[in-house]
Structure 1
Amino acid sequence: MPKTARPHIHLVSDATGETLKSIATAALVQFRKSHDEVEVHTWALVRTPLQMERVVEAIAAMGGLVLFTVVDLELREILVRRCAKAKLQIVPVLDPIMHAFGKYLGEKAQNLPGRQHELDAEYFYRIDAMHFTIAHDDGQHLSDIDKADIVLVGVSRTSKTPTSIYLANRGYKTANIPIVPGLPVPEELHHLSNPLVVGLTASPDRLISVRRNRLIAMNESVETEYVDAERVREELNIARKLCSRHGWPIIDVTRRSIEETAAAILNHYARREEQHRQQELGLAPPHDASGADDEP
């Protein structure tokens, strides 16, 4: 590709293209110099030969790298043949995975486009989780909070709500409860038996910065206890003591994205579930794997 040309990446799919988008995004963030220059084009729901011919014609006019997840053999043949003719580099991103799965499972893939988006039981469970999470945001509807899979606690602006929504989208019923100075912790929180409870914390400097920006956005005074350094440290100390007293894991979100925070939470959740399974089978003694701070 000439250095003066704008780089193009084409995502061609006979389904929604969401898989390709995720893969391309994960790869592109590793290339800092080119990340902002790359123009990504998504060609989704390409399901007829005529559509594929038109897509490849448009791609050839721009040039670039082609990533595809096309399972229909006829459409793949058109894409590969036309891209080769136009001297375009192509990457069948799912082929190595499908080959490995087929070899390991001893089964041939069905080659059905968009199969992962069918409205199965898992889909409806995610919807149910989302409804639950929205209803139990910010300490609401505590009467049935024990039905949650995960409960997040923490002081204001520690990303409890966005993390809860992300977890709900993964299918986990998630409630979040704020720790507010001067107010008692809800009694229900002390008697949970089902959910994994996780404390979210952040560095005082980071928390003050986020809170100041929040107040400015709301056109409110920034000279309040809400952003007072000593008060913020006291809040964080109270929250940490609460989590330590109950043996709840604590995750520092200061340098984490929402996705990274959620991944750390799900690691705790998976370990707890595995521990429960082993206890039920009599393979491991009861043990509390939580309580320690998560890695920074």
Structure 2
Amino acid sequence: MARIHLHLLSDSTGETLEMIAKAALAQFDEADVQRHFWPMVRSKQHIDRIVPDIAGSPGLVLFTLVNPDTRARLEEHCLTLGLPAVPVLDAVTEALEAHLGQEAHGRPGRQHSMDAAYFARVEAIQYTIAHDDGIGHEDWEEADILLAGVSRSSKTPTSIYLANRGYKVANIPLVVESPPPRALFTLRRPLVVGLTTAPDRLIQIRRNRLLTIADGQESDYVDADRVAAEVRFARRLFADNDWPVIDVTRRSIEETAAAIIRLLGERDAREALPERMGPV
């Protein structure tokens, strides 16, 4: 298979462009792609310095450049070299301009500006780290989401992912011999979500975990009957409290997080409905 060169040019950190390229490449099997990454490209002079490298490894050029002079220079060079140059955000930006009835500002890296949302995200990450693994139940009412599940049901990585999206998340491991604190059953603000998984998958994950521990000896932690009992205990607790449940057996962290965000949105919409309807 011939190697394809993919040149990514951004006038900011390039994080958005990288994610778009990664998502698109995931649609192709065994694509042999050599990526060339060029962030913080904000002048025609910078474009001129990059072009010899592009010419040396000709391929597809993807860019997110909002300055008209800079992007025009890149497009001129690509036209001369006979290379396709794709402005990956143009279609979305144009659609939003038409829908909103206003022109885009064209500010490089604007999505990374340190606005209120940025600081809220930082606060969410700090809260989530401080309330991992059942810690700080006195402050659970401040959370947006609380995840409950047996050990190794992906609570922590899902919490961190959601925190990076701006949600304050606490999580608690469910242990048969150790009842959860009463605070778990009196929460009003957070959405409590139960995470569950197939026992055989859970045993596999736990065995991999044990391999990282010094002695690595198996115990009740991976005993089939014991694990099955843990999962039943958690599912019964979820059902008794009418908490939504997500089976993470075949879900990625991103898919689990997306399902949780959808549940939160649906709950908030239900709670806001009487207010929108007004008094009856």
TM-score band by shorter chain is: over 0.9
| Alpha-carbon distance in structure 2 between the residues aligned to 1:106 and 1:212 | 56
Give the match for residue 241 of structure 1: 236
| Alpha-carbon distance in structure 1 between the residues aligned to 2:205 and 2:194 | 18
2:23 counterpart SS class = helix
Instruction: Spell out, residue by residue over 1:211-233, the C-alpha distance to the aligned partner (whole angstroms, 9 max, x if none).
Output: 00100111334421100111111
Q: Tell me which amino acid in the other structure corresponds to 2:5.
A: H
| Alpha-carbon distance in structure 1 between the residues aligned to 2:102 and 2:4 | 39
| Alpha-carbon distance in structure 2 between the residues aligned to 1:284 and 1:148 | 30
1:281 counterpart SS class = helix
Matched, 1:197 2:217: no
Instruction: Spell out, residue by residue over 1:18-53, the C-alpha distance to the aligned partner (whole angstroms, 9 max, x if none).
Output: 11111011111111121xx21222110001111111
Matched, 1:188 2:187: no
Q: Tell me which amino acid in the other structure corresponds to 1:253.
A: V
Match of 1:14 among 1, 4, 11: 11
The TM-score, its normalising length taken from structure 2, stands at 0.97
| 8 Å contact kept, 1:275–1:284 | no
Return closer, same or farther for 1:188/1:73 CA change in 2, 3 Å cut-off: same
| 8 Å contact kept, 1:7–1:64 | yes
Match of 1:163 among 151, 158, 161: 158
Unaligned runs of 5+ in 1: 286-296
Give the match for residue 288 of structure 1: none
Q: CA deviation at 1:281?
A: 2.5
Give the match for residue 73 of structure 1: 68
Give the match for residue 88 of structure 1: 83
The TM-score, its normalising length taken from structure 1, stands at 0.92
Q: Tell me which amino acid in the other structure corresponds to 2:28.
A: F
Give the match for residue 211 of structure 1: 206
Q: CA deviation at 1:284?
A: 11
Matched, 1:116 2:87: no
Match of 1:148 among 143, 147, 168: 143
Q: CA deviation at 1:280?
A: 2.2
| Alpha-carbon distance in structure 2 between the residues aligned to 1:191 and 1:103 | 47
More displaced stretch, 276-285 vs 80-89? 276-285
Give the match for residue 44 of structure 2: 49
After superposition, where does 1:95-110 map in structure 2 within 5 Å?
A: 95-110=90-105
Q: CA deviation at 1:238?
A: 0.4
| 8 Å contact kept, 1:13–1:70 | yes
| Alpha-carbon distance in structure 2 between the residues aligned to 1:233 and 1:218 | 23
| 8 Å contact kept, 1:157–1:207 | yes
Return closer, same or farther for 1:109/1:224 CA change in 2, 3 Å cut-off: same
Q: CA deviation at 1:82?
A: 0.1
Return closer, same or farther for 1:44/1:145 CA change in 2, 3 Å cut-off: same
Aligned residues: 280
| Alpha-carbon distance in structure 2 between the residues aligned to 1:227 and 1:284 | 55
- CA-atom RMSD in angstroms: 1.4
Give the match for residue 29 of structure 2: 32
Q: CA deviation at 1:208?
A: 0.3
More displaced stretch, 271-280 vs 155-164? 271-280
Give % identity.
52
Q: Tell me which amino acid in the other structure corresponds to 2:82.
A: K
| Alpha-carbon distance in structure 2 between the residues aligned to 1:206 and 1:183 | 23
Match of 1:225 among 220, 236, 239: 220
Runs of 4+ in 1 over 2 A off after TM superposition: 219-223, 279-285
Instruction: Spell out, residue by residue over 1:142-175, the C-alpha distance to the aligned partner (whole angstroms, 9 max, x if none).
Output: 1111110000000000110010000000000000
Return closer, same or farther for 1:154/1:283 CA change in 2, 3 Å cut-off: farther
| Alpha-carbon distance in structure 2 between the residues aligned to 1:39 and 1:205 | 39
| Alpha-carbon distance in structure 1 between the residues aligned to 2:70 and 2:223 | 62
| 8 Å contact kept, 2:143–2:190 | yes
